[in-house]
Chain A
Amino acid sequence: DAGVIQSPRHEVTEMGQEVTLRCKPISGHDYLFWYRQTMMRGLELLIYFNNNVPIDDSGMPEDRFSAKMPNASFSTLKIQPSEPRDSAVYFCASSPGGPGGYGYTFGSGTRLTVV
């Protein structure tokens, strides 16, 4: 398995533009998570899906952020309009679900810079 695949690896955009980040989870994993990494807050959960259904979006900072999972193999995180404070590394992760102390598998992340 190729692991969790994110695209693009780097994105530089101007303030006000729409940004779309993409994620392909590991096949068979029922859970998909979007995290954002910043120096101040570390890794913060934005939203997660179970079987393509959003379960908890309480971490989505504002209405400018939206996420979709149209099928089991694809998810997007969209920011519209983007602002400089959105600059961060965004990670997607997936897991098989169920009880226990297993970990997630993370993608390599998308480094977003909004200028």
Chain B
Amino acid sequence: DQQVKQNSPSLSVQEGRISILNCDYTNSMFDYFLWYKKYPAEGPTFLISISSIKDKNEDGRFTVFLNKSAKHLSLHIVPSQPGDSAVYFCAARWDILTGGGNKLTFGTGTQLKVEL
């Protein structure tokens, strides 16, 4: 049972344009959502997160949008740069304070390629 889904295994974007990576989830108890970035032969690194009480969080070129009613979130990268080429994982967490454990459930990842 895949509670966090990334339906696009790959995405190709031109440098300078916007990259939009999508993620869907099924568990309504999730209250934090995170994006991780992974380069080959390295571990995933934390990129940005959003609380379920918000609908947008921005950090420089990266913005995450959350649509709770649709159980959908997206990561926008503007402008896209060649160094952004990596695998992006969406993750969700059911917070300790509301009864969940301190564990992240990840999607299968989307390979982003930013072309010159």
Contact = CB atoms under 8 A, between A and B. Distances in A.
A55 B107 CA distance: 22
Residue from the set A45, A98, A103 with the largest chain B CB neighbour count within 10 Å: A103
Contact of A50 (B6, B102, B105, B108): B102
A35 B44 CA distance: 11
**What bracket does the count of chain A residues touching chain B fall in?**
20 to 34
B20 interface: no
Nearest to A41: B108
Contacts of A105: 46
Interface string A38-73: 011111110010100001100000000000000000
Contacts of A104: 46, 104
A71 to B, nearest CB: 20
Given A50-B102, A107-B43, A108-B41, A99 B49 contact: no
B96 A98 contact: yes
Contacts of B97: 99
Nearest to A100: B32
Interface in A66-89: none
Nearest to B107: A42
- Looking at B41, B49, B102, B104, the one whose CB has the most chain A CB atoms below 10 A away is B102
Contacts of A56: 101, 103
Contacts of B106: 35, 42-45
Given A43-B106, A97-B102, A91 B43 contact: yes
B105 A45 contact: yes
Given A33-B103, A91-B43, A109-B43, A99 B95 contact: yes
Interface of A: 4, 31, 33, 35, 39-45, 48, 50, 55-56, 91, 93, 95, 97-109
13 contacts: A35-B106, A42-B89, A42-B109, A43-B89, A43-B91, A43-B106, A45-B105, A45-B106, A48-B102, A99-B96, A101-B33, A102-B46, A106-B44
Identify the 9 closest CB pairs spanning chains A and B, nearest first: A103-B46, A106-B43, A42-B108, A101-B49, A43-B106, A101-B32, A99-B97, A106-B44, A108-B43
